[in-house]
Chain A
Amino acid sequence: MTAKPDPQRQNVLAAVRRGLARTGPAAAPVWPVEPPLIPAAARGDGDLIARFTAAAEAAAASVERVAGPDALGPAVAAWLTARNLPGELAVAPDPALDPAAAHGLLTVRRGTAGPGDLIALTRARLGIAETGSLLLTSSPETPTGLNFLPDFHLVALDASAVVATLEDAWARLRQDHAGGWPRTVNLVAGPSRTGDIEQTIQLGAHGPRHLHILLVESR
């Protein structure tokens, strides 16, 4: 791509080069010079699900194992019933969620969430065992609004999609998105929270008050 003649860009870059005691661009640097340093506790593929679950729960998410894609709808319905919540929810238009959306006890709208939506179900791309984070990407099938607007954020995650570290997740995405990076990548560890009033941690600041992760086993 040829740089547009943007005088402000040239001004700032010239000032940076003055600060670096250079007059022009340097040769492209060699980077990285060594592989990333991964903490020992985060390394390895052993027991990824147990590590992911423990870390997610430590971040105040709840985690439930679901026997397979067909069991997802009943699990969602049961979770909502147990909390006395209505069965109305926004569901991501991801085909993997079609069986769940068709469940008889749920009243479903497919699409992104609006400000009035109390409950949403979406699908994460990956889980990161080190931090218990979900990795969600924006796409027509998984709009970002579902991750932030509802009070109750339900997320389906394939058990086989749990990786050890963020570096592993990036390697996956680099492979899958060689032709173009997703517009939004959200790493979500637990529900929304704040400590801004007298340092007292409260859950449910502006985003979801609850994050429930449904780990779906493959058949």
Chain B
Amino acid sequence: MIPRSATFRANSRAALDNPELVRALGTMKTGFRQKRAAAVDALPEFDALRDRAVAMKNHTLDHLDHYLESFADKVEAAGGTVHWATDAEAARQQVLEICRAHGAHTVTKGKSMIAEEVGLNEALEDAGMRPVETDLGEYIIQLRREPPSHIIAPAIHVSKAQVADAFRAAHGDLDPARELDTPRALLDEARAVLRHDFTAADVGITGANLLIAETGATVIVTNEGNGDLTQLLPRVHIVLASLEKVVPTLDDASLILRLLARSATGQTASSYTSFSLGPRRPEDADGPQAFHVILLDNGRSEMLGNGFREMLRCIRCAACMNHCPVYGAVGGHAYGWVYPGPMGSVLTPALIGIDKAAPLPEASTLCGRCEAVCPMRIPLPGLLRQWRARAHDQRLSPPAMRRGLAAWGWLAARPRLYHPLNRLAAVALGRLGRRRGGFARLPLAGGWTKSRDLPAPEGDTFQARYRRGARRP
């Protein structure tokens, strides 16, 4: 997927003009936020569990090589094959090689953000295979040929009427007069259509929420059960996972599971949490004959040492975007690549380069809600600030902004000049704006006054009042 993150401003303007998107985002905000809040309130130990999870994940990242090796050795001891991929291209080639070796035609897929990150569907299509997304949301956006707009609800921007249109176009052999007005009717149709694909598939590809170093198991957490059918029915199961998904033990997985479902959907536990280890055993009645795990680096090893290691604690629950005022206004597609919202604004520059994603760290008011709800206590606003500083240093921010900041910086470093000028401005603006209480338009403040009034200062500066001992306004 070619990133469109550099045009975030234009993307968001288009998003704000899309009434269906605005409506969908309104529902999202109330739904996800209330459910999470209720689930967190019902668990008094939630914050203590977060602290434990942070310590566990920090420990794991400090010894990432060790835990990856124990995981990989356990998978191979159970008859599976582990492939190590340095970048997206290597991962794509490994998947294609496995699919070709098994003469694959139909490839079912459980929901995987890593598959989106490496652009797997395109690669499979180019190689003449038929990838079929089986998560309902992913299936919808695959039919619409769109990227996901949310990491756990990929089709959150699509209305049910649009889903019906996509189904009518794709399922041409069904009765055109059929009723598709309700979510139930749409779901039943998708269930029936995808049942054929589940059984016809030669290869099933899933992601992994966790990798367990203790046992070598890969873990998927789902509600639909599609991931389980994807990994159970085809002859070959491929797990695509990034390096940081590993945890030391099953008990550490339990810790993450207590936080994940609550932070994501407000559930105590997701419907299905499935642990897979190697191919079917000789005496088993079902299961894949071949089992492959692809461990993808694609920038993670660099993040261990470049100031963004804390982002590798992310468990992809989406709480940050569910609570973000910017995401809530423009939705996920505006972010222009695979990962949207606050976590995306930190991760995307790390994975595709800040030069291709410079506007993303600016797409935040730094209000701090994302950090407040993050189950892994990732300091997202702080990391966004780090990216802003780097974008500035690399001269990636708009020239006018850099000139303005340089001028302000020059002035602010000279208090003998700064304070009188500041006071002059406060007094003058206070006088000018006294009657209306604010300004509808002001030179150099167009960015602010275009959409709201600038309140008039009270007539003096904070510092001057503080010096006079005026503690009350």
Contact = CB atoms under 8 A, between A and B. Distances in A.
Interface in B251-270: 251-252, 254-255, 257-258, 265, 267-270
B63 interface: yes
Interface in B44-103: 44-45, 48-49, 52, 59, 62-66, 68-69, 72-73, 76-78, 82-86, 90
B285 A26 contact: no
Nearest to A209: B191
B187 interface: yes
A167 B285 contact: no
Nearest to B135: A196
Interface stretch (B274-282, B389-397, B406-414, B447-455): B274-282
A53 interface: no
Interface in B4-25: 24
Contacts of B258: 39
Contacts of B216: 181
Contacts of B229: 148-149, 206-207
Interface in A137-154: 138-140, 143-145, 147-149
Interface string B417-434: 000000000000000000
Given A12-B297, A20-B62, A206-B191, A199 B254 contact: no
A197 to B, nearest CB: 4
A115 B285 contact: no
Interface stretch (A67-75, A78-86, A184-192): A184-192
A9 B90 CA distance: 12
* Interface of A, helix, strand, loop or mixed by DSSP: loop
Contact of B76 (A1, A166, A180, A207): A1
Contact of A183 (B48, B194, B278): B278
Most chain B CB within 10 A, of A16, A167, A204, is at A16
Interface string A8-52: 110111011111111001101101100011011100000000000
A96 interface: no
Contact of A202 (B66, B187, B265, B302): B187
Contacts of B184: 202
A18 B301 contact: yes
B125 interface: no
Interface in B182-203: 183-184, 186-187, 191, 194-195, 198-199
Contacts of A36: 251, 254-255
Contacts of B306: 19
B160 A184 contact: no
A16 B281 contact: no
B287 interface: yes
Nearest to B90: A8
Interface stretch (B218-226, B365-373, B374-382): B218-226
Contacts of B129: none
A59 B265 contact: no
A198 B28 CA distance: 9
B153 interface: yes
Most chain A CB within 10 A, of B45, B217, B250, is at B250
A199 B194 contact: no
A205 interface: yes
A172 to B, nearest CB: 11
Contact of B254 (A3, A167, A197): A167
Given A115-B195, A194-B187, A207-B228, A18 B271 contact: no
Contacts of A192: 223-225, 271-272
B84 A9 contact: yes
A15 B297 contact: yes
B249 A20 contact: no
Given A195-B265, A208-B225, A186 B183 contact: no
Contacts of A196: 135-137, 140, 153-155, 224
A102 B306 CA distance: 65
B271 A191 contact: yes
B305 A31 contact: no
Interface string B160-178: 1001000000000000000
A206 B44 contact: no
Contact of B225 (A132, A148, A165): A148
B283 A207 contact: no
Interface in B277-325: 277-281, 283-287, 295, 297, 300-306, 309
A19 B48 contact: no
A132 to B, nearest CB: 8
B113 interface: no
A206 B232 CA distance: 13
A125 B269 CA distance: 18
A181 B216 CA distance: 9
22 contacts: A1-B73, A8-B85, A8-B90, A9-B72, A16-B301, A20-B65, A32-B252, A36-B251, A59-B267, A59-B269, A59-B271, A131-B268, A138-B284, A140-B284, A184-B274, A189-B267, A197-B183, A198-B27, A198-B160, A199-B153, A205-B226, A207-B271
Top 8 closest pairs, chain A to chain B, by CB:
A207-B225, A19-B304, A205-B224, A196-B137, A15-B301, A131-B269, A143-B285, A19-B305
Given A16-B243, A189-B269, A196-B153, 4 more contacts: A9-B82, A11-B84, A39-B258, A149-B229
